[in-house]
Structure formats: structure tokens, C-alpha cells
A and B are shown apart, each in its own frame.
Chain A
Amino acid sequence: MAHLDRLSGNEAVAVAMRQIDPDVMGAFPITPSTEIPQYFAQYVADGLVHTELVTVESEHSSMSVCMGAAAAGGRAISATSSAGLALMYELLYVAASSRLPIVLAVSTRALSGPININNDHSDAMGARDAGWIQIYAENNQEVYDNYVQAFPIAETPEVRLPVMICQDGFITSHAVENIELLEDEEVKGFVGEYNPEHYLLNSREPLAVGPYDVTHYYMEHKKQEAEAMKNAKAAILEQARRFEALTGRKYGFFEEYRMEDAEEAIVVIGSTAGTAKATVDMLRAEGRKVGLVKVRVFRPFPGEELARALKHCRAVAVMDKSEGFSACGGPLFAETRSALYDLESRPKLINIVYGLGGRDVSTKDIAAVYDRLHHLAQTGQVGEVYTHMGVREEV
């Protein structure tokens, strides 16, 4: 049976890793994900797992270790943040296009510069087009739950794509919360044995992984990868269904919070959703019709489902914890606005870039967003679409 414990988000991920007992970890430290390989190295030293812990000299190598291990037929894991994820950039694409179901824990952090070690989503968002499934967590419980579901999603034969399990660096990675853990046997039962159809260590079948792809084949392979990402939607929902049957905790592509009759809504990813829910409760108590959509799965992007969830709203603020420098809004805004385009009538949309480099977000900040949405809904005046929350400026 499940039991309660109090763990940081990083430790929760490490515990999930221990329970899964993967074959290989490519390990290299970087703030704020360092604790994950640190805890896991202790499990290895204590003989609690059978994992081969490969300590390497860079994240380029830790991801390369994962790719070799996954191609060989093993379950491979790593953890990283910020510049570490950036150093994996080349391999992220190779891992995904080679269809290797690796699971990477990302404790998200600002990607320099100016150099900054605190939380935002610029690292993970920078990797959003690499062909990886991306699942984000609001709190420690969610990052643990998401991690347990990751391998069954990644290894689904129609999917065969790597997965990033993202949580907010420091905010959840280092904050200690009470969480409900599954028993080791329950996790092992849920994740199951990994028996890939093709793998390098199979002496009965010679196998080449990642061969040169000439022009006549490359687009067809990219089409396959794109189809695999579409297939991931069904796999994510299937594993969520199994997980709910096991734990009672319900997951989907996103969480709708008090959206039933909401006229004004915020779309947000990660820990800020907790702050925003408190704000929604506060404003609901005053009779305001406000709601929240917390995006859990960013890749594949649940565009149609999100459009359905938002179509009754009058005004929506999409909150981006990364600055995409598109000069017209952050990545979550671009995807959300695109998803709404096919609706007959759609809400007015604004984009708020917030919380960069660890800038704190309070309920007061979120209430100000709802006030702005309310004004927008009343007047129909959108004003400036793309703004930055709480930035000091001369007016």
C-alpha cells in the first residue's frame, strides 16, 4: 500500500528511479538537479538498485551514455538543468529520431545569460522541438507521479520516444512536501519489464542504430517521428488511466481548475499553478468567474483539447515562464493562440512573460492578471498583448 513521506522534488524523482531500478544512469551534476544523481548514487552504493551508474565529464556524454544503453536494450535515465540540457542539445535530437525511450528528469532553471541559477522554463522550452515528450509538474507529488508513468509512455511500441519529466528548479526540486509514495512492488508492477523488439545486445539479430539517412528517406523518417508524437497522446492518457486505477490520482494533458463557468482564465505551466489556484479561490469567494488551466503535457501539445477547454472564456492570459524572443510572445502563448484559431468564436488572448530567473510570483501578482482580464472582458480593449510581469520600468 501507498505510504506518506516528506521529500524534496529531487528526492521524489530519485525515489521513483530507485523503485524502477533502471539499467543505466548517465550522471553529471548541475544546479538545481544535482541532488538527483547524488541521491541515486547512494542507492547504487547501498546496493538498493542494479543500475550501472556512469559518471561522465559532461552532459553531452551523459546523454550519449543513455543513448548507447537504450540502443543496447536497457532502460536509461539521466537528470539535468539549464546549461546541462543545452549541452545535450545535439543528442536530444539524435535520441528522439533514433526512437530511444530514455527518461530525463529536468529541474528547470534559467538558461544564461546573464548567468542565473534560479527557476524558469527557458531550458526545457528551448528543447521543446527536439522530438521529446515533455511533462511538467506543479508540485512534488506530481513530479513523482509523472516519473512513474514516463517509461510506460516512452516504451509504447507506437511511440518509442524519449520523455522529459520537468519540475520547477528549487521551487519544487528543493522544497520539501508531504507526498504519497507507492510501494516498490507497485511501481515495478506498473512500469513492468522492458522487452524491446530490437536491441544491440541481441546476438541473434545484427542491428544498426542511427545509420546515415539520405535525402530519399529522411523526410519519411521525420514523418514517422511526427506520427509517433501524435500517438503519444493516446499513450499518455492510457498510462494516466492505469495510474488512476492504482492510486486514485487523476491526470490528463492539463488540469482544469474551476473552469466550469469561468469567463476569465489563466493558462500556466508548473508550480505557479498552485499560487494561481489560491488566487482563483480568493476571487471566486468574491463572486468572480475565474478559472485556471494548468498545462501538464507540452509535447505533444494538446491543441484541440485546450481549445475546447478555453472556448467559453471571454478573456485568457497565457503565462510564459520563458522568453522566446519571438518579439510577439512566449512559446506557450504561440501554441495556445494557434490552437484557438480554429474556433468559430474565441476568447481575447494576452501573453504575460513572468518569473524569469527565479522572480517570485505572489497571489497579488496573479490577482492583477485576473483584474486585467476582467477589464479586457468588460471593455473589449486588449491593449498590449505581450507584456512582462512586474518588470520595473519608467512610465
Chain B
Amino acid sequence: MKRAKDIHENSPWQDLTPGGEIYEPATSLLFNTGDWRTQTPVFLEDKCKQCLLCVPYCPDSAIPVKDGKRGEFDLMHCKGCGICITACPFDAIVWKEAE
């Protein structure tokens, strides 16, 4: 069985699965789509009330929650859409200054 972790950008065509089929779940965890991002959100922990409104609004599940509290952005998957910035009632998320 070919596993996603063994397939990479230098794999020869013989090592890929037919039609790009994937035989396991959650392989998006292995794939950096955060590099499509042009703007980056910054989490201001001291302003955050942990209301968690930002979490369901995030289209990419890029805001991890542990023990009822959100943590730092998963920048490997955040596309920088900014929806969380609009959703936050406490201005606890802002755009990063130009990189």
C-alpha cells in the first residue's frame, strides 16, 4: 500500500498512485498549503477572551483548540483570508505588518 508520507515531489511516476488516489485519511496534514498565503494574521493572546468565535469561521481549520482554548495559528494551512479578523469581537487578531 502506497502511503502519502512516502510520496513527494521527487517521486518517479511509477511510485505515484493511479489517478492520485489516496488510501488514508487526513493527508492534508502533510501538505503545506500555507505558502499560498499573501497576508498573515497575528493572534494577540492578551486581548483574547477565548470566546472561540474565530474557530468555526476559519474555512481551513487552521485555529487549533486544546482544553477549551484556542492557540497559535496553524500557519501551514492558514490561507490568510482574514475572516477570523472580521469575526473577532475583541480585535484580538490583526494583520501582520508587511513581510
Contact = CB atoms under 8 A, between A and B. Distances in A.
A220 B27 CA distance: 19
Interface stretch (A37-45, A75-83, A200-208, A252-260): A200-208
B68 interface: no
Contact of A216 (B9, B12, B18, B19): B9
A97 interface: yes
A205 B23 contact: yes
A198 B21 contact: yes
Interface in B6-34: 9, 11-13, 16, 18-25, 27
Nearest to A97: B19
Contacts of B21: 99, 198, 207-209, 211
Interface in A208-265: 208-211, 213, 216-217, 219-221, 223-225, 227-228
Given A220-B11, A220-B12, A223-B13, A210 B23 contact: no
Interface string A85-100: 0000000000001110
A208 B18 CA distance: 11
A160 interface: yes
Main secondary structure of the interface of B (DSSP, over half): loop
Given A206-B24, A207-B23, A216-B9, A99 B18 contact: yes
Interface residues on chain A, size class = 20 to 34
Given A206-B25, A220-B11, A99 B16 contact: no
B23 A221 contact: no
Contact of A217 (B18, B20, B25, B27): B20
B16 A211 contact: no
Contacts of B13: 219-221, 223-224, 227
Contacts of B16: 217, 220-221, 224
Contacts of B23: 198, 205-207
Contacts of A213: 20
Contacts of A160: 18
Interface residues on chain B, size class = 10 to 19
Nearest to B33: A214
Contacts of A97: 19
B11 A99 contact: no
B30 to A, nearest CB: 13
Given A206-B24, A206-B25, A98 B11 contact: no
B18 to A, nearest CB: 4
Q: Which of B11, B12, B13, B24 is most buried by chain A, counting CB atoms within 10 A of its CB? A: B13
A17 to B, nearest CB: 25
B37 to A, nearest CB: 16
B22 A207 contact: yes
A205 B1 CA distance: 11
Interface string B49-61: 0000000000000
A97 B19 CA distance: 6
Contacts of A208: 21-22, 27
Contacts of A216: 9
Nearest to B8: A216
A99 B21 CA distance: 10
Nearest to A206: B25
Nearest to A219: B13
B19 A98 contact: yes
Contacts of A211: 20-22
Contacts of B11: 220
Nearest to B26: A206
Contact of A210 (B12, B19, B25): B19
B99 to A, nearest CB: 23
B19 A209 contact: yes
Interface of B: 9, 11-13, 16, 18-25, 27
24 contacts: A97-B19, A160-B18, A198-B21, A205-B23, A206-B24, A207-B21, A208-B22, A208-B27, A210-B19, A210-B20, A211-B20, A211-B21, A213-B20, A219-B13, A220-B12, A220-B13, A221-B13, A221-B16, A221-B19, A223-B13, A224-B13, A224-B16, A224-B18, A225-B19
